[in-house]
Amino acid sequence: MKNLLCGLAVILSVALSSAVLAEEATGREKITGTVISVDHKQGLIVIDTGKHDGQGRFEIILVDVKAPKVGEKVTAHCWYHNRGRYCTDKIETLSH
């Protein structure tokens, strides 16, 4: 019984770490914050993460995804484009 529990713990640990590594392996980053600006013409949003260290606002280009509304709290799954901007094709709305 003890061996079975240890085996299950190892399998669960490997499965969870694999999910975390898969997110990192894709080169994606999660940015969570409040949408403070939406530019439908240029297809981008600005998210404020609430950090006041100069790294709290992110301009993100939308790629085949509907723009959230200003004021919504969201998590954007982003990758860093070689031209110095973040891009996203997946946005999760957390609240209004």
Q: Is the pLDDT of residue 96 over 70?
A: no
Residue 23: inside a domain: no
pLDDT, one tens digit per residue, over 41-75 is: 999 999 999 887 777 899 999 999 999 999 999 99
Q: Using an 8 Å Cβ cutoff, are 59 and 34 in contact?
A: no
Residue 21: inside a domain: no
Residue 82: inside a domain: yes
CATH number at residue 84: 2.40.50.140
Residue 10: inside a domain: no
Residue 5: inside a domain: no
pTM beyond 0.75: the answer is no
Which single residue is written with the structure tokens 């946005």?
91
pLDDT, one tens digit per residue, over 14-34 is: 544 444 434 444 689 999 999
The parent domain of residue 79 ranges over 28-95
Provide the domain count of the chain.
1
Residue 70: inside a domain: yes
Task: Give the angle subtended at the CA of 54 by the CAs of 52 and 59, to the nearest 5°.
Answer: 105
| The predicted structure's pLDDT at residue 12 | 47
User: Torsions phi, psi of 14, nearest 5?
Assistant: -65, -40
Whole-angstrom distance, CA of residue 73 vs CA of residue 23:
21
